[in-house]
A and B are shown apart, each in its own frame.
Chain A
Amino acid sequence: MDRSNEAPDGGARARTGAQPSSTGRRAFLKTGLKTGLGVAGAAVAGGMAGRAGATPMTAGAEADPATLPPNVPWWNQYLGDGVAAHPYGSPSPYEAHVVRRNVEWLTATTESSVNFTPIQDLYGFVTPNGLCFERHHGGTAEVNPVDFRLMINGLVDTPKVFTIEDILRFPSVSRFHFLECAANTGMEWRGAQLNGVQYTHGMIHCVQYTGVPLRVILDQVGVKPNGTWLMAEGGDSAGMHRSVPIEKALDDAILAYAMNGEMLRPENGYPLRLVLPGWEGNMWVKWIRRIEVGDKPWHTREETSKYTDLLENGKARFFTWEMDAKSVITGPCPEKPVLHKGINQIKGLAWSGRGRIKEVHVSTDGGRNWMQARLADPVLPKCLTCFNAEFEWNGEEVLLQSRTVDETGYVQPTMQALQEVRGVNSIYHNNSIQTWLVNKTGEVENVRLG
């Protein structure tokens, strides 16, 4: 299954094809891409053909000998696009498989639904803006920033209305934080269900948010002494709203207008959203139009009928805000089979809503024995942390797991431990240890151990 890197037989230097015109080059790219994907599908062992996320780079695409040494490839000879060809750049066409995907049967409509970040194809801890998973309750609000207004009212000295221009004139902070949906891994409570890390763990993204600390804005309206709760309300067609205790607002909450150096994407709340580091993503209200200060929580639809954790005895936990420590191996994974015997790299992500990641452990035998993984700098609080480890694959079945411990001492639990406390009806806050089975062909499957 190794991708060939053999030296050519003879020393003869083949001529590359005729100089491609601009359109010829595009056609070439198109054909090349199609061929690459086709070969990828065929090359991966049974059941994997056409699997979303199969990568031409790693799944056995054949190189064109005319481009290999001792030949000089055409891109090494002829002019490429000039600087104005792509005013806003896009990924290489060879990376077209790296996209958000959704699961149609999950929801009645795409406007009230979710899609998934392709974490199997990402590197480092920063998620590119166009790949950050989306969760909408009434579709994306398309807001012209000129028409944007943020109102703050309720138990305040002076209710106020701010424009986005006002918001941009406040002092700003920039912080890297993960945003995880409380339902991430929620389809896996009863058993291994979705065969891909994008689907099991992709309701997460991590970007550098820039905005105004919420407490700076609250200082402008003067919160009354009995103002102990906030209600953040979205400007979308669901008017999505959540109650937030004022302690969080005064601690590390941000009203963010930018992500990864540019203004927010529409689907992520343009032009302003709430950022509540470490807390469930549903509370990070997008297209925020209003904050009300009150003395009690509101018990909105999203914090009663949804985002409450039903236990085995029929009682449900409410206001389950923090995201507990969690980790997952993003390669190998079902989308990234093991292609080579010998040394293989394990990579993955770990995070905790309660602070920094302290350790990540990796097992190749289903959790009987563990080794310490290397954590990649920087290790930031309430932020994704990359980890790496190695294992030697000899063609036998392997059960891969990762387990993290955060700086509070919290240990990522097994699914069995979670189920003993919470049963199987919770939907939300499944941060259990994930198992990938590497079978004898190198395919990787999502499995449940028992």
Chain B
Amino acid sequence: MSVLARTLTRGITAGVVTLALGSAAFAFELEAGKPYDLGRPATPEEIAAWDIDLRPDGADAPVGQGTAAEGEEIYMVQCASCHGEFGEGRDRYPVLFGGEDTLASHDPVKTPGSYWPYASTLFDYIHRAMPFGQAQTLTDDQTYALTAFLLYINFVVDDYDFVLSHENIGDIEMPNHDGFIPDSRPDAQPETVCMSECDVATEVVGRARIIDVTPDDDGETAAISID
């Protein structure tokens, strides 16, 4: 079945009629499901080498294992120069532990222990992107060990010799597992669109010049980081 035909079917059953109509309009320009005989089949070896992701339930987790104790040794060599010996984060590099009970405060600290909902995400990110600038150099076993170490310093697992593997990574429950809710926008909408004599506060209560962190100004940095 072509993807367009599937959208129409799914659209009707799922109630996303507007999306289905959008695709139907598109079909006047391009024939749905038309084969172009371009590209070639991917080989199993190619897929195995590039398909490096895994899912929260542990699906597609690469075969391997490692302990927190093994992970600490790797961490000190490969990670501590940026993340700090205790995961405290040097300069503006990410903090890797702590932050419990801060999410509702004025100064939330988002770490694997306080914020990340899934252990699989830790493995996946370390495996594909770390060490920074030397991506995909860690073995699967090293990555399991590092993930186990981060779970250990965040009190997700208690045993220094805990063995994390493809068999149990989908079973790890992170502390903030239930901390995420679906998008409920649009929100913050006014009851009417006021055009004149609107009842709004117009007193200046904050000025960027006073905060003084704009580049080219000589100022202290006191701000929210995006990364």
- Report which A residues bind B (CB closer than 8 A): 47, 50-52, 101-109, 111-114, 137-138, 151-154, 158-163, 166, 169-171, 173, 183, 186-187, 189-196, 199, 213, 215-216, 218-220, 223, 225, 231, 233, 237-239, 241, 246-247, 249-252, 289-290, 292, 294, 296, 298-301, 304-306, 308, 310, 312-322, 324, 334, 361, 365-370, 399, 405, 408, 410-411, 413-414, 416-418, 420-422, 424-425, 427, 429, 437, 445-450
With a CB–CB cut-off of 8 A, which chain A residues contact B51?
153-154, 290, 292
Residues A316 and B190 in contact, CB atoms below 8 Å apart: no
Contacting A413 at CB < 8 Å: which of B115, B190, B226?
B190
B181 touches A193 (CB 8 A): no
Q: Contact at B34–A219, with CB atoms within 8 Å?
A: yes
Question: Assuming the A-B contacts A225-B6, A310-B108, A368-B198, are A169 and B36 also in contact, with contact meaning beta carbons closer than 8 angstroms in the complex?
Answer: yes
Is B77's beta carbon under 8 Å from chain A? no
Cross-chain contact A107 with B23 (CB below 8 angstroms): no
Q: Mark each residue of chain B from 164 to 185: 1 if its CB lies under 8 Å from any CB of chain A, else 0.
A: 0000000000000001111111
Once bound together, how far apart are the Cα atoms of A299 and B54, in whole Å?
Answer: 9
Q: Is the CB of A414 within 8 A of B179?
A: no
Assess the A220–B6 pair: CB atoms within 8 A: no
Chain A residue nearest to B30 (CB atoms) is: A171
Q: Are B42's CB and A159's CB within 8 A?
A: yes
Decide if B156 is an interface residue (CB 8 Å cutoff). no
- A219 vs B104: C-alpha distance in the bound complex, in angstroms? 45
With A52-B216, A416-B201, A437-B204 in contact, do A247 and B38 touch (Cβ < 8 Å)?
A: no
**Which residues of B sit under 8 angstroms from A318, Cβ to Cβ?**
180-183
CB distance from A155 to the nearest CB of B (A): 12
**Quick one: given A195-B209, A421-B187, are A405 and B193 in contact (CB under 8 Å)?**
yes
B7 to chain A, nearest CB (A): 5
Which A residues are in CB contact (< 8 Å) with B26? 213, 215, 252
Inter-chain contact A106/B226, CB cutoff 8 Å = yes
B162 lies within 8 A of chain A by Cβ: no
Q: Are A298 and B207 in contact (CB under 8 A)?
A: no
Number of B residues, CB within 8 Å of A: 97
Flag if A108 contacts B82 (CB, 8 Å): yes
CA distance A99 to B23 in the complex (A): 39
Q: Which residue of B lies closest to A228 (CB)?
A: B10
Which chain B residue shows the least CB distance to A50?
B216
Are A107 and B225 in touch, CB under 8 angstroms?
yes
Give every chain A residue within 8 A of B160 (Cβ-Cβ). none
Inter-chain contact B120/A299, CB cutoff 8 Å: yes
Contacts A193-B223, A366-B200, A411-B190 given; indicate if A239 touches B128 (C-beta within 8 A). Answer: yes
Which chain B residues lie closer than 8 Å to A109 at the CB level?
132
Per DSSP, are chain B's interface residues mostly helix, strand or loop, or mixed?
loop
A238 touches B129 (CB 8 A): yes
Kindly report which residue of chain B lies nearest to residue A173, judged by CB atoms: B29
B2 at the interface (CB under 8 A from A): yes
Asked if A159 contacts B121 (CB within 8 A), the reply is no
Interface check B72, CB cutoff 8 A: no
Interface string of B115-157 (1 = CB under 8 A from A): 1111011001100110011011000000000000000000000
Question: Considering the chains assembled together, what is the distance between the CA atoms of A289 and B134 in angstroms?
Answer: 18
Chain B residues lying within 8 Å of A107, measured Cβ to Cβ, are 92, 225-227
Q: What B residues does A246 contact at CB under 8 A?
A: 3
| Closest Cβ neighbor of B180 among chain A residues | A318
**Contact across chains for B115 and A450 when beta carbons are under 8 A apart:** no
CA distance A52 to B214 in the complex (A): 10
Q: Roughly how many angstroms separate A314 CA and B99 CA in the complex, as a whole number?
A: 12
CB <8 Å contact, B47 and A151: yes
- Contact with A445, one of B52, B115, B179, B209 (Cβ below 8 angstroms): B209
B179 touches which one: A111, A219, A239, A316 (CB < 8 A)? A316
| Shortest distance between the CB of B58 and any CB in chain A (Å) | 12
Q: Does B32 contact A (CB under 8 A)?
A: yes
In the complex the two chains form, is B116's CB within 8 Å of A305's CB? yes
